Chain A
Amino acid sequence: ELKVEQNPLFLSMQEGKNYTIYCNYSTTSDRLYWYRQDPGKSLESLFVLLSNGAVKQEGRLMASLDTKARLSTLHITAAVHDLSATYFCAVDPRGAQKLVFGQGTRLTINP
């Protein structure tokens, strides 16, 4: 059974600090997705990582993918309150956009 596991599930941090969310998956997947979800809202696409070694950055967020280790990371630099949300990673093992999601990481950034 395919598993996508995020770590940590809950993260409370102070503004200005750096932190990393980890996403491990148990089967082959050529691509990995990161999404943000605000309370009561749908998913906002953050990154699509297409190949081994891919690194993408947008503002204070940077995502990377190691397909050999089946690991992706989402790094937050100098966190600000507006980044408080739940972050999901997802993989597409069947290659048909039938996504399998991690449990989500609820990030709270305190002033």
Chain B
Amino acid sequence: GAVVSQHPSRVICKSGTSVKIECRSLDFQATTMFWYRQFPKQSLMLMATSNEGSKATYEQGVEKDKFLINHASLTLSTLTVTSAHPEDSSFYICSAPVTAGLGTEAFFGQGTRLTVV
């Protein structure tokens, strides 16, 4: 199956600093990628859709100036958490859709555990 690689897997940062998370499609091209957030013991919530060569689209309630998304190539999307605060501590997961055979399926990265201290 398709492979989506996310980096780093864990990051600890100080409050007020920015953190960049990378999501790469290793063996396919992804014009679209999705970013989800998962708070402890909760479900995944879609934050935004990353579009190659154009602006990301954000779900309601997600601050676009705080969560900067860049999708500069067909294999890489980045999520930058700017001026991070402890309430931004969460598990961030990216996914990329792959169309083959019976239809389209999402493949997920390994996730990034962000802890803001």
* A residues in contact with B104, CB < 8 Å: 97
Q: Give the distance in Å from the alpha carbon of A86 to the alpha carbon of B44 in the complex.
A: 12
Segment at the A interface, from B67-75, B77-85, B107-115: B107-115
Q: Are B93 and A42 in contact (CB under 8 A)?
A: yes
Compute the total of residue contacts between A and B using a CB distance below 8 Å: 53
Q: A31-B103, A98-B34, A98-B49 are in contact. Are A42 and B108 (CB under 8 A)?
A: yes
Contact residues on B (Cβ < 8 Å of other chain), bracket: 20 to 34
Q: Are A100 and B102 in contact (CB under 8 A)?
A: no
Q: Are A97 and B113 in contact (CB under 8 A)?
A: no
**Which residue of A is nearest B112, CB measured?**
A42
A55-89 vs B, CB cutoff 8 Å, 1 = contact: the mask equals 00000000000000000000000000000000010
Instruction: List chain A positions with a Cβ less than 8 A from chain B.
Output: 31, 33, 40-43, 45, 48, 50, 88, 96-104, 106
